[in-house]
Chains A and B, each alone.
Chain A
């Protein structure tokens, strides 16, 4: 009789930290690249002129030149590359985190776009899937 309530409280306590931590909607690539260009454009021309984006080249060059970067660039570039990674992870991982829900609710869909619209429209998805959808950020 009291055991059920004790179990409920324990479950609540165990999951509370995860629930209190709101999933953060990821930042679009457009926005984060805009930030990078705006904050670091001059620094890139000055210190990393022949260095292209891709394969961490630019990030490494900015890191090597950290001491001489403008304040705006130094404060921004690390954050930007983290935002990029988070966005890629959130979008690439979405269907994996929602696999069970997709199988149950969206089996009729023929492609990823259809599955995602189906998941967004669903009345009930699992907690982990719901977090993943928030992080993927389709606004």
Chain B
């Protein structure tokens, strides 16, 4: 009788507390996560102010080759360059790039990056009107942010969207080069 009672209580307690044994576990991390997880100093980004500075610069004529970067210190931060395809002259992401968006979302959800804030930057090569490029790059950055927030439920406080148009070209010597058309994902601090 006593055996039965103890046995039943033991059975019940094992059912409630399953033993999950594991040695010290490290989370798997892909190359996106590795590129973004290095510790870094936080960077304050005021989108409105940067936009106004861009408009000021546009009042003076000048060649893209001679243009200094608009925002300092971006190069030093952990980041990814993303080759996201959009419809022509549009902020609509093409289906060929959906998987890439999925990879970005997975990285943002990785436990090692869960507490990080990110800047999404849009750049466009220096073809066509400078103002158009600034506006379109901002629309694209904002679209990516909106997709991450609404489709993937990333917290909006983690994401800032900034368009830099042709104001901070990757390859200033060749301002029309396709390499200048890109999105960046940059770590700007912790939330």
Tell me whether B22 and A121 are in contact (CB under 8 A): yes
29-53 of chain A: CB within 8 A of chain B: 29-34, 36-37, 40-41, 44-45, 49-53
**A8–B7 Cα gap in the complex (Å)?**
9
Q: How many B residues, CB 8 Å from partner? A: 53
> Known contacts A4-B9, A11-B12: does B95 contact A41 (CB below 8 Å)?
yes
The smallest C-beta distance from A110 to any residue of chain B, in angstroms, reads 10
Tell me if B146 counts as interface (CB < 8 A to partner A): yes
**A16–B102 Cα gap in the complex (Å)?**
36
Tell me whether A120 and B102 are in contact (CB under 8 A): no
Q: Which residues of A lie under 8 Å from residue B109 when comparing CB positions?
A: 29, 87-88, 91
The smallest C-beta distance from B150 to any residue of chain A, in angstroms, reads 5
Further 4 A-B residue pairs, CB within 8 A, beyond A30-B102, A36-B95: A8-B12, A12-B15, A52-B92, A138-B28
Tell me whether B20 and A124 are in contact (CB under 8 A): yes
Tell me whether B18 and A33 are in contact (CB under 8 A): no
Q: Out of A28, A45, A92, A117, name the residue touching B102 (CB < 8 Å).
A: A28
Tell me if B59 counts as interface (CB < 8 A to partner A): no
Tell me if A69 counts as interface (CB < 8 A to partner B): no
Tell me whether A125 and B20 are in contact (CB under 8 A): yes
- Chain A 81-123, CB-CB to B under 8 Å as 1, else 0, gives 0001001100110000000000000000001110111001111
Q: Which residues of B lie under 8 Å from residue A115 when comparing CB positions?
A: 111
Instruction: Give the residue among A11, A30, A32, A116 with the most B Cβ atoms within 10 A.
Output: A30
The smallest C-beta distance from B100 to any residue of chain A, in angstroms, reads 8
Residues of A near any B CB (own CB < 8 A):
1-2, 4-5, 7-9, 11-12, 15, 19, 28-34, 36-37, 40-41, 44-45, 49-56, 84, 87-88, 91-92, 111-113, 115-117, 120-127, 130, 138-139
Identify the closest chain B residue to A3 (Cβ).
B5
The smallest C-beta distance from B82 to any residue of chain A, in angstroms, reads 14
> 6 closest Cβ contacts across the A-B interface?
A33-B102, A8-B8, A41-B95, A113-B111, A37-B98, A29-B102
> Known contacts A37-B96, A117-B25, A139-B28: does B20 contact A55 (CB below 8 Å)?
no
Tell me whether A121 and B25 are in contact (CB under 8 A): yes
Tell me whether A52 and B111 are in contact (CB under 8 A): no
Q: Which residues of A lie under 8 Å from residue B12 when comparing CB positions?
A: 7-8, 11-12
